[in-house]
Amino acid sequence: MTYDAVIIGAGLGGLECAYILAKHGMNVCVLEQGTQMGGCLQSFKRRGIHFDAGFHYVGGLDEGRPLNRLFDYFGLLDLPWQKMDEQCFDEVVIGHEHYRFAQGHEAWQAALAEQFPDQKNNLKKYDEAQANVGAHLFDALGSRTADDFYNNKAFTTPAYQVLAGTIGDERLRNVISGTSLKMELRPESLPFYVFAQINNSFIEGAYRLAGGGETLTNRMCENLRKMGVTLVTKAQVTQLEGEAGKISAALCSNGERYEGRIFISNAHPATTLSLVSEAVGLRKPYKKRIDRMENTYGMFTANIAIKPETLPYQNKNLYLYEEGADIWNISSPECPKGLLVSYGCTTPDQKYASSIDLLCPMQMEELSEWKDTQIGHRGSDYEAFKAAKTEQCLRIAEKQIPGLREATDRIYTSTPLTYRDYTGTRDGSAYGLRKDANNTLLTFLPPKTPVENLLLTGQNLNLHGILGVSMTSFVTCSALIGMEAATDGLKTK
Ligand SMILES: Cc1cc2nc3c(=O)[nH]c(=O)nc-3n(C[C@H](O)[C@H](O)[C@H](O)COP(=O)(O)OP(=O)(O)OC[C@H]3O[C@@H](n4cnc5c(N)ncnc54)[C@H](O)[C@@H]3O)c2cc1C
């Protein structure tokens, strides 16, 4: 059988494209190399406790806000979403000082203005700028073509430039940037678009999901099956076969051959292009350019199982920094300079913590001696390296969570190598290709490729995270069926 669309990879981007195209009446098949669907949204269960690989909270889920409308479209709104603490969903700790991020624009400004009263007007100005970028998302999706999408100067302006030009107090600049371990801060290049779109979304509704990423993936798969989409796991695409500028079939590790009219890849773009067979005649300079693109850093994660009823559950994240930390240059290989602490959410109205995740940036260079190894076979040195990193993270975290060490039952760890091996992301990168405000043309990839019937989707294209990937799914599908058809049923106004 020949599918209308074959999708390579069942991360959120792949599943969402399948949904949009199936809704449009197309016959779709999704091929996933792993044993689980979801990519970075995968979770794992150990002795009854669920841990998330790359999903902690989402932003923009309040009524009428971008993610709310996107999830309404995908049938994900009635999942057990838990609104995070409205007065403090993120707490930034620098040295001994604590700063709270409140939900809602006025509350966000007021909370920070309490500690930086002379910056009140600047905070308002800055918040308006980030809210404008947030609003751009739906202006773009509501427009008729995807070309309007990049027509915004927030893409070409470095975030740090906007921040420094608006906020006079250096400490406040660091505080505002302090929740940004969910992206890679680089003062010279990170576009304001990425910084503002992500940070703004959390002010407009920060939520956890009981059961984590798996809850979302399971619902997406359930919806897709109802729509007649074919979902295949343990199907690593090893070659995209075809000729004369077109792909005709995906060959898989399961020995099957999936024929299609259109192919959409949710895998890393460089990985995708490496699969295209010679006979297709992919332009070499394009392939080389994509191959040379830089990736954002990876993350080290310590997933901690907490002994029952020992620590209260906290409905907020903590972002912890030493006094004097250079928040815009955090990814050094030394002791973590920034740490994200996130509580696992298992049930609505949870009283006690069941798991706590500690996350810090990690560069692949730190792992070079194990780069040629496979999961479960990296040796005792690697285990010792991870144990030492975990100890550093625990030391930082226990200063803010007294009793954490005593309450710890067991710890599971992962590094960028784990992400590389599970999701095929280049360099174990957490947030995909690095975007550069000074070079948007070459770092924001469009979904179309020089191969006529091969498109790209997912976090590598324009924006990472649940919100960014969801928006990108519409941009990808619009390149195929037009923006109006792709967003049919999506409330853009
Ligand atoms: C540690 C961490 C924490 C995060 N926390 C958050 C958070 O709290 N909130 C948030 O909004 N975002 C968060 N993110 C980002 C978010 O998880 C990602 O941006 C998003 O899930 C990426 O989705 P994707 O569809 O682009 O790609 P992926 O999830 O990477 O999916 C790609 C899929 O393609 C498959 N694949 C690759 N090659 C092949 C092949 N050859 N054949 C078949 N299948 C293939 C992979 O196995 C994978 O399933 C986090 C990310 C990380 C790493």
CATH code of 464's domain: 3.50.50.60
**Is 461 near ligand 1, meaning CB less than 6 Å away?**
no
- Looking at residue 438, what is its pLDDT? 94
- 294-320 pLDDT, tens digit each: 999 999 999 999 999 999 999 999 999
Cα–Cα distance for residue pair 138/310, rounded to 1 Å? 44
For ligand 1, the distance from its centroid to the CA atom of residue 419, given in whole angstroms, is: 9
Percent of the chain topping pLDDT 90: 85
Please report which confidence band the pLDDT of residue 397 belongs to, taking 50, 70 and 90 as the band edges.
very high
Compute, in angstroms, the gap from residue 40 CA to the centroid of ligand 1: 3
Q: Across residues 403-420, what is the average pLDDT?
A: 96
For ligand 1, whether the C-beta of 358 sits within 6 Å is no
- At residue 349, the pLDDT reads 84
| Residue 152 covered by a domain | no
* Atom 2 in ligand 1: residue holding the nearest Cα: 54
- Is residue 334's pLDDT more than 90? no
Whether 337 shows a pLDDT value over 90: the answer reads no
Instruction: Report DSSP state, residue 61.
Output: -
Nearest-angstrom CA–CA distance, 135 and 120:
22
The per-residue pLDDT for 232 is: 98
Domain-embedded: residue 24: yes
**DSSP structural state of residue 283:** -
On whether residue 78 sits in a domain, the answer given is no
Asked if pLDDT for residue 331 goes beyond 70, the answer is no
Residue 247 lies in a domain: yes
Residue written as tokens 């226990």?
398
Give a yes or no: residue 44 inside a domain.
yes
- Which amino acid, residue 104? G
What is the pLDDT at residue 97? Answer: 97
Residue 148: the pLDDT is 62
Question: How does DSSP classify residue 295?
Answer: B
Distance 425 CA to ligand 1 centre (A): 8
The domain in which residue 279 lies consists of 2-59+211-294+435-486
Checking if the pLDDT of 145 tops 90, the result is: no
pLDDT at 423 over 60: yes
Q: What is the pLDDT of residue 372?
A: 94
Percentage of the chain exceeding pLDDT 70? 96
- Calculate how far, in angstroms, residue 169's C-alpha sits from the geometric centre of ligand 1: 36
Q: Is the pLDDT of residue 143 over 80?
A: no
The whole-number pLDDT of residue 462 equals 84
Average pLDDT score, the chain? 94
> Would residue 38 count as lying in a domain?
yes
The reported pLDDT for the residue numbered 149 is 65
pLDDT at 333 over 80: no
Structure tokens at 104: 């809602």
Average the pLDDT over 386-406 and give the result: 96
pLDDT over 60 (residue 78) = yes
Ligand 1 near 269 CB (within 6 A):
no
User: Structural domain tally of the chain?
Assistant: 1
Q: Please indicate, yes or no, if residue 148 is contained in any of the structural domains.
A: no
Q: Residue 486 in 3-state DSSP?
A: helix
Q: Is 464 in the pocket of ligand 1 (CB under 6 A)?
A: yes
Q: What is the pLDDT of residue 492?
A: 73
CA distance 419 to 55: 13
pTM comes to: 0.96
The answer to whether position 267 is within a domain reads yes
Would you state the pLDDT for residue 54? 85
